[in-house]
Structure 1
């Protein structure tokens, strides 16, 4: 095989591998967006141990949404999972959020080391009071 033919074949193989790689990368991005919808960017913003709240019920338009369930976030292999508040069931973020009201979720990070989310109790049927406290900082939301 001549040197010129080897160079041409090398360039063609490199070009084909590059094009295939770009196509696969694009398909992977489309899969993530199709799977997670509006939650696709949560992976970039949340960290292990963040607290995610979801609402099971919501008031009329203009009323405050009542966040009455929470979970703890775990990131693993570029995916976001949520442990329920008893740490018994681990679900993907999309599945956990989808069981709420219209996938309405808010994520907070604990600021104070003396704060224990497991000691939090519902007040008037919600955890909204925790979101306004100085013990947690807002990370992101979806709605």
Structure 2
């Protein structure tokens, strides 16, 4: 085999492997988007320890959504997980959000070090009062 033929086959082989790799990477990204939908971008915005609220139910269109459950964000190995408010069950973000009302979630970051989320109680059946309290800062939401 001539030197020119070896070079051509080497370049052609490298190009085929590179194209195949790009296709596989694109399919991997599409799989994440298909699974998580709008939640796929949460991975870039949230941090460990952020508080995520979900609503179990909602009123009619135009009414305020009542966020009556919360969890704590845990990021590991490029994925986002949520611990329930008792710190007993760790679930994938998508699975946790799906148990709510159409994946309606809001994420907040605690601003004050003396604020203890474990001592917070429901008021009128919701945690909505916390969202405007000044103790937390808004990070992102999904409606």
Pairwise same-fold verdict (TM > 0.5): yes
What do the CA deviations read for 1:51-78 (whole angstroms, capped 9, x no partner)?
0000001112211110000000011111
Residue 6 of structure 1 is matched in structure 2 by 6
The number of aligned residues is 143
Q: Distance in 2 between matches of 1:58 and 1:10?
A: 60
> After TM superposition, what 4+ stretches of structure 1 lie above 2 angstroms from structure 2?
none
Q: 1:2: Cα distance to partner?
A: 2.1
Residue 22 of structure 1 is matched in structure 2 by 22
Q: 1:142: Cα distance to partner?
A: 0.4
Structure 1 unaligned regions, length at least 5: none
TM-score by length of 2: 0.97
Q: Distance in 2 between matches of 1:60 and 1:52?
A: 23
Q: What SS does the aligned partner of 1:58 have? A: coil
The 5 A counterparts of 1:99-110 are 99-110=99-110
Structure 2 unaligned regions, length at least 5: none
TM-score by length of 1: 0.97
**How well do the aligned residues superpose, as a CA RMSD in angstroms?**
0.8
Residue 74 of structure 2 is matched in structure 1 by 74
Residue 50 of structure 1 is matched in structure 2 by 50
Q: Distance in 1 between matches of 2:13 and 2:116?
A: 56
Q: Distance in 1 between matches of 2:37 and 2:23?
A: 21
